[in-house]
Amino acid sequence: MVVLVFLAVWEGVARLELMSQLFFPPPTRVISTLGELIWSGDLWPHLWSTLRIFVTGFVIGASLGTALGLAMGASAPIRTVVDPLVALVHPLPKIALFPLLLIMLGIGDAPKIAIVAIAAFFPMTINSMAGVNQIGNVYFEVAGSFGMRRRDVITRVIVPGSLPMVFAGARIALNTALVLAIATEILMSNRGLGHLIWLSWETLRTPQLYATLVVIALLGWMIQRGLEVLRRRVIPWGSE
């Protein structure tokens, strides 16, 4: 409701030329530009390019991160070895690593996917490890007292017990991964939603810029909604 009022005010102010239409085009123009992008078919290759990099990078980074995080949580020796490495690399702004990856992996999709993977990796590692650590001790006592095999303790206690925090990590990781996918496209690409933003800036087509932002926002929203739906199915037990 508030959003509609806000948009209406914006529309009015822009049309009355109280604000520069270059910086703040009226929402109606943004929407019509968006419509053009869609119907002309120009949007889809860019969207597809971004999605490809985002999904590939996320899947690689998140699965490695989750596996390592669970291992670190379950095994003190692994944690002792890996924790310092994580603590050292995690604070680095991932985008700062992009030039390094360009040197190592060349120009093309590989460095972008790598950055996205790294961006997804750290939140998943940290949250998965925390997920294991917050599993109450009593559950391990129960497992021990009924003689559960080590393999079953991992699959039936450690993994399900850490799932709520794994999903919390995924929420962050998905967001960061998308941000970085777009960022790499702004920096170095001729395709993708990030590239489209940059192109709009270069050609001063502000409505197109806004339209692309809308697409990105919608994409991010749908991804988070998708995660939430998945979470409800995978965690039916009312997580604390």
Partner 1 sequence: MRGPSVVECRSIQKTYPTAEGGFLAVDGFDLTVGEGEFLCLVGPSGCGKTTILKMLAGLLDPTAGEIQFADGAAHRSLVFQEDALFPWMTVAENVAIGLSQSEEDGQGRAAATARFVDTVGLARFANRYPHELSGGMRQRVNLARALVSAPRLLLMDEPFRSLDAQTRLLLQEELLRLWQRTRQEVLFVTHDIEEAILLGDRVVVMSGNPGRIVADLPIDLQRPRDLTGRAHPDLAEMKWTIWKLLKEDARERLSAHA
Site of interaction with partner 1 (CB under 8 A) = 136, 138-139, 141-149, 152, 156-157, 160-161, 163, 235-240
Tell me whether residue 93 or residue 238 sits nearer to partner 1 (CB atom): 238
Tell me whether residue 41 or residue 238 sits nearer to partner 1 (CB atom): 238
* Least distance between partner 1 and beta carbon 160 (Å): 4
Tell me whether residue 67 or residue 234 sits nearer to partner 1 (CB atom): 234
Residue 112 · residue 181 · CB < 8 Å:
yes
* Least distance between partner 1 and beta carbon 80 (Å): 20
Q: Which residues contact 31 (CB under 8 A, 6 or more apart)?
A: 211
* Least distance between partner 1 and beta carbon 142 (Å): 5
Tell me whether residue 152 or residue 228 sits nearer to partner 1 (CB atom): 152
* Least distance between partner 1 and beta carbon 15 (Å): 54
Helix (H, G, I), strand (E, B) or coil at 189: coil
Burial class (CB in 10 A: 0-12, 13-18, 19+), 178: buried
Residue 10 tokens read as 């914006």
Residue 15 · residue 26 · CB < 8 Å:
yes
> Quick one: how far is CA 164 from the chain centroid?
17
